[in-house]
Structure 1
Amino acid sequence: MQNRINTILQELIAKDEPMTGDALAALLDVSSRTIRDDIKQLDYALADQGAYIKSTRGLGYTLIIEDEHAFRLYLQRFTQSEQEDDFTQPDQRVRYLIHRFLLAEQYLKLDDLIEEMHISRSTIQSDLRQVKEQLRPYDLILHHKPNYGLKLQGTEVKVRFALSQFLFNEREVKETMIWKKQLATISNMTESQLQSIWTLLIQATQQHQISLSDIAMNNLFIHIAIAYKRIKDGHQVSLIKHDLNDITNQREYTVALEIVRRTENILHVAFPDVEIAYIAIHLLGTKMVEDKNQSEEDIKRWMPDDILIVTEEILETIERKLSLGIQHDKELIFGLCLHLKPAINRFKYGMNVRNPMLQEIKQNYPLAFEAGILAGIVLEEELDVAIDENEVGYLALHIGAAIERKKLTHRPITCYIVCASGVGSAQLIKYKLQGMFGSKINILGTSEYYKLDQLPFSQLDLIVSSVPIKVPLPVPVVEVNTILTEQDVQKVETFIDTDHDELLQFIDQDAVFLNQCFDSKEETLSFLVDALKEKLALPDDYLTKIYEREAIAPTAFGNLIAIPHPITAETKTTKLGIVTLKKPIDWAGEKVQVVILLNVKKESNEDLQALYKLIGKLVENRRHVQQVAQATDYEQFIDHLFQSK
């Protein structure tokens, strides 16, 4: 996790404008939720260090440096703790000097540096030529002032970009190149050659300001090594089907050409032109899939047939089993294809892979991990290779990102602000919500309470009101204070972030029974089990298992609601069975008017957090349960179920 947080800091240092959570999530191959957690940790680490992370809804995150001196001292401590300097090596001396000049606030005297590094004047003069050469692409120069020494000069934007590159990436060369020894054995290359190729990839992407995630960088690295082996063995390289002219006019093609030519000098072998194009595709990354002129079919034409067939089979299986709605996500198709081409070679050559994020992925993104398992099963069946859970974790990252992207495609919530204190207070709520939620919320207007009947309910998803609304409305109501508190904002955020479509997959209309007349818990449970037995293929002893759970502790939680269920998952699918009652019944001493039979799929790894969150909200709010119980038809029931009060 620390490497990820360091990468976020690196990216924010380099940017003079906000960077969205989605952009950071794509860079690191994690979800937006993980980025939000990492940002909180980073902001905490920067406390009292002269900087903080500013979060602006709709724009993203910005590193704000309030005290340049304190922040530079922090970076000095950061780099000192992260590096071990060996002044016998020229590259280490050059790196140290670049760090010193980037972090120095005053001029540095040559004699002081000589004493500090214990080197000769001729050595440091030679090193300084290398320093100037490496800083030139960043438009930074070393200015010499007689009797003062040397000081770095350039725009603040250029200095910050250089800081982000030199303080972080060079350290990460050793950390992220995890397959060097295995690749050396497989490809018949020396570790020194592989190190040189990795370094040139880092340098080329830094110099041309191309951002690749660690996974994407490793994939490109493995591809080059395997391509070298295949060329040496006389195998024809897979051709891409698209017109190469579409790639050659891209800036990334020039960078790919530079990488290939330098690689040829290192390995003394000629790469075919198609390899330049394929490396350019790696470098283009999400830029290609974000191009509105690129259809899904266009994306597929870039990919070799064998890789595309496996990718399509994976996505079809995931959609058939989990119905995630991501089968036609262009970025997922592109990302999986690029990931699988080198990954399949790793499988075939028995290269082990370690996923440092595996436990975090399993714990926080079980649904994406379940989809990753399905992808692994397809790969094993299609390729006759063994896929372990480390690789499943990497596949889950791509899938999880697609799940997050799907959530972002939902239209903004449309609402009206209702307030009894006058237009001024309603406007105050309006601008506060717009500032907090940006493009996620569309506020059509404000209204006084007495004009409720004039609101355009057919256009609304939500009412935000600073006064209690006693009359039933056709849309949910979120009740807030005139001066919004943090709790008020969270109530609105809960409504906005709730994926109702995700919840509706667990609620079938023919499993919802409204305004029933039962007199007891036993009568209600018998009715529900009988009604759902055939639909859910319930086992014969299902009712017995529910009573076994009731014997341990009654499932009536107060506030007129009971959530009965067996001790263990028993059904073939996760569904709710729901009964609302005209009059409350006694349930182990509690009054109950809404009964939700929770049927969870046996041996399931489904992500049920949203479902449990919804049930939790009901349990906590008696008034909410009463409204659900009063619904007279299914549509009204769903509206009441999803409202937040």
Structure 2
Amino acid sequence: MRIFDILRILVAEQMIKGEHLANALKVSSRTIRTDVKELNALLSRHGAAVKPLKGTGYRLEIQDEQAFHHLLKQLKDYENNVPHLLASSSEARHRFLIKKLLLTHAYVKLDDLAEMLYVSRSTLQNDLKEVRKLLSTYGLSLENRPYHGIRIKGNEAKLRYCISDYIFNRTDKIGGQQMPHPSLISNEELEFIREVILERIEYHDIQLSDIALNNLVIHIAIACKRIREERYVSYYPQEMKKIEAQKEFRVATEIVSALEQNMKHSFPLVEIAYIAVHLLGVRTVVRVHMDEVEIKKIIDKNIYELTIEILDRIDQQLSMNIQNDQELLIAFCLHLKPVLNRYQYGMNLRNPMLDEIKAHYPLAFEAGIIAAEVIKQRLHIHIEDNEIGYLAIHIGVAMERKKVEGTPKRCMIVCASGLGSAKLLYYKLQSVFGSRLEIVGTTEFYKLRQMPLDALDFIISTIPISEPLSIPMIHVNTFLGSSDITKIEQAISESKLPAVQYIRKKLIFLQQKLDNKRQALEFIAEKIQEAGLVKGPLLQSVIEREAVSPTSFGNFVAIPHPLEPFADSTFWAICTLQKAIDWDGKPVQFICMLCIQRTKSEDLQSMYHILLNILNHEKLVQQLIRCKTYTEFVEVLHKNS
């Protein structure tokens, strides 16, 4: 918890400036003032206080050495017993509370929870507000009974999905080590469940991914624990009929029959249906080796037509040229069937790669959002972040495949230091870029004017060339450093123009004082509208896009943008902040509002490539955040792009 971090710093320093304390803990000075008040409430009972000193900072004053040292000992013992709570503050407390409440059927008193967490009752009440929000995403709620306490209330199947997420799938790490999960059933029984599933899916030639297999083992383990506690799922008679008619129900029946031989309980019919639902919710291919014609035979006609519409819409809005990619079409069809099954039965699916997908494949993620919009319009199903991330992976694969299958870029090497150096550079380029780069030859600078350059995409030169050429020139070191490789990679990916082409002087706002996400979006959108560069409800569309999935992806960066294009040309409106703000759980200090041109004639992939080269570069982002003038900002950007 942060108040303990403040106490540790004060014990070590005795006195510290509020600004230094805020920087050390990466929060605002206002937050520090609030935390100090809470810390003082704790210290008042243990012979100490934190005194604010005007213009100087904070000082720790100890009135009762014995009482204070007793507190420090208690905290040390507590930290040894529950280190992950202290390490991760409020987020970890929320996880602890949900886990605690999921694993008990009785009511738990608030005072007991506050004592377990070593927080005040008011802090606990604030934590429970967040816990209620998190539980609501599973369709669960907190039931409060006077003089008894609280407990989780909701549908049994949804409770199990929440148990899966918070007991098994969320990893708490301290010092690189994973914390043990509370045991729901014995390891021997877990292993037995895994063996039974493997034997049955092999018999039926069903192929599951490792993640899908692990999820199935976990959900059957949870079912075993809940059945022993006489807590069962329920389905409407009509639902049961539909589930029993599926081939997955037959497989589930066989799994249960094998499990009952060793487990100390039987499985009611509804629990067999529960296992069948989980089989329906994973991507399965009957028979491991199937050709394209066979796969097409098992694709549902409605899903095929939905996929065609999705790929067409993606191409209309993002010009990715993927609508004729047969491999993508089949992969999408096979993926969508279990997605729709999961939504039909209210199943959840976590995506551990979500942040990485957003950060490294933002264009693919935008395509995933378009896919989700089509599904919403056609089927009235809301697809959330985790599922969009999995859809984006298939589009990302298609994008990478296009790179590999694309025509290689043609270049010529200009080297002033002789044939040996030119050959060294030639083979180095071959080893790094392979078939993506065709080197048509090497030459000296003085011969360059005599050569036709029309058939080339760019020149790679070890000497700077000042005179204008009809094609781009890339200046590199003979020994090809990492920055040289990045420059060539950009050229191969057709990012020929520098980042400064997308910025406008009147749309760069540095060192702004803005308090929250909404304020920042309103400020930037208003400035863009004032500049007359968009036609349409920009702010409303940006807020709608943020509601689908937040555009903050780490490194203090957010890239908000509208759901649809409103601009005559593609540009970035950039705003840096004096202090980081919270953007749906991530700190943000660099905001780049992205406006795309309506006609979609340009290569958005190249633009995103340029943008990501900047925004994934931690040192560069921090340099840009510190800039105070437009000239300084452009110089830093130009130097690094």
Q: Which has the higher contact order (CA 8 A, sep 6+)?
A: 1
Q: TM-score, normalised by structure 2?
A: 0.40
